[in-house]
Amino acid sequence: MIDFGFGLSRSSSVKLDEVDLGLYHKLEALEPGVRVCMSCGSCTSTCTAGPWSGMSVRKLILNLQRGKDVEKMLSCCMLCGKCTMVCPRGINTRHLILSLCRIYGKKQ
């Protein structure tokens, strides 16, 4: 395709080979369990804050795996730990959120 140097709208397509996974790799180092998430959504559906704040551990993990920033979502979590109880892959999701806060340099 010829590149005219301009476009009407930007493509929403993500170039997977070019995304920056720095944040995800940092989290992986602290929480290796994050790798086995199978996107089942149990954490999201059981989260009391979810329906009102949009909090979703599943989306949080997936967004990190796709190189997106998730800082906003962190403040929606009440650290109640319900999601950790239902995760079928045994991921300590609550601890994962705390580790992520540490990476972002935040206090909860």
Contacts to ligand SF4 by CB under 6 A: 37-43, 47, 49, 55, 57-58, 61, 77-83, 86-87, 89, 91, 93-94
Whether 102 and 69 have beta carbons less than 8 Å apart is answered as no
Structure tokens at 58: 């599943």
Of 19 and 79, which has the nearer Cβ to ligand SF4?
A: 79
Contact set for another protein, span 71-100 (CB under 8 A): 86-90
Structure tokens at 49: 């804050």
Q: Find the angle CA(75)-CA(53)-CA(98) to the nearest 5 degrees.
A: 30
Alpha carbon distance 107, 60 (integer Å): 18
Residue 43's Cβ-side half-sphere holds a number of Cα atoms within 13 Å equal to 30
Among 14, 19, 40, 80, binds another protein (CB under 8 A): 40
Taking the complex as a whole, the smallest distance from the CB of residue 57 to ligand SF4 amounts, in Å, to 5
C-alpha 52, offset from chain centre:
18
Taking the complex as a whole, the smallest distance from the CB of residue 41 to another protein amounts, in Å, to 3
Q: Is 43 in the site for another protein (CB under 8 A)?
A: yes
Which among another protein, ligand SF4, none contacts residue 51 (Cβ within 5 to 8 A by kind)? another protein
